[in-house]
Amino acid sequence: MPYGSATMPAAAVAAATVEFRNVTKRYDAGAKNVPGAVNDLSLTVPAGKICVLVGPSGCGKTTSLKMVNRLIEPTSGQILIDGEDAAKRDVIELRRSIGYVIQQVGLFPHQTIGENVVTVPRLLGWPREKQRARADELLALIGLEPGKYRNRYPSQLSGGERQRVGVARALAADPPIMLMDEPFGAVDPIVRERLQNEFLRLQEELAKTILFVTHDIDEAIKMGDLVAVMQVGGYLAQFAPPADILASPASEFVARFVGADRGLKRLSLSRVGDLDLREAPTARVGDEAAAARRLANSNPFGYLLLVDDQNRPLGWVGHDAIPTDGHLAEPMAESMSPLMDRRTTLKDALSMLLDADVQVGIVVDRKGAVIGLVTADMIAERMRETVGDGRFVPHATEVEPGAVVAAAAVAVGADDADGSGSEAELEATDAR
């Protein structure tokens, strides 16, 4: 079940702008020649947008995030929320206005799922009935049936379900800002893909300002309206929309970090709905077989797509399988193609075709009715169109050249090995 099976009430608070202004964090402020964790970071995340912080392990992503809700205080510089300095806000009130999904989920093991979800509302002193209603509403929103899940404990959930609960908990008090630290990091790639898609769909309704951390460039490109590529030492290597980062990486480091398969990556920026879909040669169950045979003959596939009375696909019928008279029937369908919708990224569409070892995918609407067809050739064509040379062009950057050179040798794409102490962190956030 996807997120979004229930609708969210109109947001009580609009999204807020988050601005980092020359923010530096040195854990060891006294020591000389020790690189900072975050170094003179300046960037602005517009209200309602997702900004992804991406970079190798230890580059300062988590530190940057925790300075927003003041779990960590900057050594210098300011973080402004809707123009107001976070350092001047009451810290408890500040944290309650910011949803926080911590690295490695960190649900409270001895609380039920329902209790976990309403951690912040409980601290805010909401009446019990309102808490319960909010828990159920959020569980439905993230696609977990409240009756089934509300009284379970975290250990009785799958990894993907736990990650959704982590997101629900962060949303509970409807905060204008969400900080999400590798929110989908602890699940396998297939579940991860699904959670990403569901979350993007949810964000269309929520329109929160989101700072999202990952060390996975593919995830960054997919999730971000804006992407901040960081490198070890806490330097901002590039801050731009994902398409710009792929098209013109600002440094050798960024070029290496996004990798050689930029063409393929750009496919995740286009969706099936962006293509001119091919019309599907359809025939309906009950149609006259003779006419259907003629139709099958006249199209280059030699196949018809058999649909039910709601235009939902049942499968392909080859010319040879259609009798010379009588009517079309469901058992005549011989094979099926993967189903996708307008929002499926071209990258996902291509991998669905490759997995199913077919050339054609069927695009359906929300009700499952056929809209058209996508072919592997159409996707390949789009990939050729969108690939520039994507090389790093020197001077096309506002980044300090010294910083770029110094860190260019850093290993990229390192695995994330963090994740300790997450509950303590959440308690630090909540239990005051």
Instruction: List residues near Mg ion by CB under 5 A.
Output: 62, 418
Shortest distance (Å) from residue 211 CB to Mg ion: 12
- E-strand ranges in 288-390 read 303-307, 313-318, 339-340, 360-364, 370-375
Shortest distance (Å) from residue 72 CB to ligand ATP: 8
Sign of CA dihedral 255, 258, 259, 261: negative
Shortest distance (Å) from residue 56 CB to ligand ATP: 7
Binds ligand ATP by CB under 6 A, chosen from 252, 400, 418, 423? 418
What does 37 bind: ligand ATP, Mg ion, none (CB cut-off 5 to 8 Å by kind)?
ligand ATP
Dihedrals phi, psi of 361, to nearest 5 degrees? -115, 150
β-strands 360-364, 370-375 pairing: antiparallel
Residue 240 CA, distance from chain mean position: 17
How many whole angstroms separate alpha carbon 29 and alpha carbon 319?
76
Shortest distance (Å) from residue 61 CB to ligand ATP: 3
Neighbours of 166 (CB within 10 A): 28
Shortest distance (Å) from residue 29 CB to ligand ATP: 11
Binds ligand ATP by CB under 6 A, chosen from 24, 57, 197, 422? 57
Helix axes 346-356, 376-386, angle to 10 degrees: 140
- Residues 313-342, interacting with ligand ATP (CB under 6 A): none
Binds ligand ATP by CB under 6 A, chosen from 18, 45, 59, 322? 59
Q: Tell me if 70 contacts ligand ATP by CB under 6 A.
A: no
How many whole angstroms separate alpha carbon 82 and alpha carbon 18?
6
Nearer to ligand ATP, 214 or 337 (CB): 214
DSSP annotation string for 197-234: HHHHHHHHHH--EEEEEES-HHHHHHH-SEEEEEETTT
First to last CA, the chain: 35
String marking each residue 16-55 x if it binds ligand ATP according to CB under 6 A = -----------x---------x------------------
Binds ligand ATP by CB under 6 A, chosen from 48, 58, 143, 281? 58
Sign of CA dihedral 407, 243, 15, 175: negative
Nearer to ligand ATP, 48 or 185 (CB): 185
What does 60 bind: ligand ATP, Mg ion, none (CB cut-off 5 to 8 Å by kind)?
ligand ATP
**Binding-site size, ligand ATP (CB under 6 A):** 12
Binds ligand ATP by CB under 6 A, chosen from 63, 337, 345, 375? 63
What does 27 bind: Mg ion, ligand ATP, none (CB cut-off 5 to 8 Å by kind)?
ligand ATP
Shortest distance (Å) from residue 73 CB to Mg ion: 18
β-strands 303-307, 313-318 pairing: antiparallel
- Residues 197-236, interacting with ligand ATP (CB under 6 A): 215
Hey, which residues does 51 pair with through a beta bridge? 211, 226
332 three-class SS: helix
Shortest distance (Å) from residue 43 CB to ligand ATP: 15
Q: CB under 6 A: which stretch of 56-64, 265-273, 316-324, 338-346 binds ligand ATP?
A: 56-64
CA 230 vs CA 78, 167, 366: distances in Å: 19, 24, 38
Binds ligand ATP by CB under 6 A, chosen from 15, 39, 45, 61? 61
Closest to 4 (Cα-Cα) out of 127, 143, 125 = 143
Nearer to ligand ATP, 62 or 238 (CB): 62
48 three-class SS: coil
What does 105 bind: ligand ATP, Mg ion, none (CB cut-off 5 to 8 Å by kind)?
none
Contacting residues toward ligand ATP, per CB under 6 A: 27, 37, 57-63, 215, 416, 418
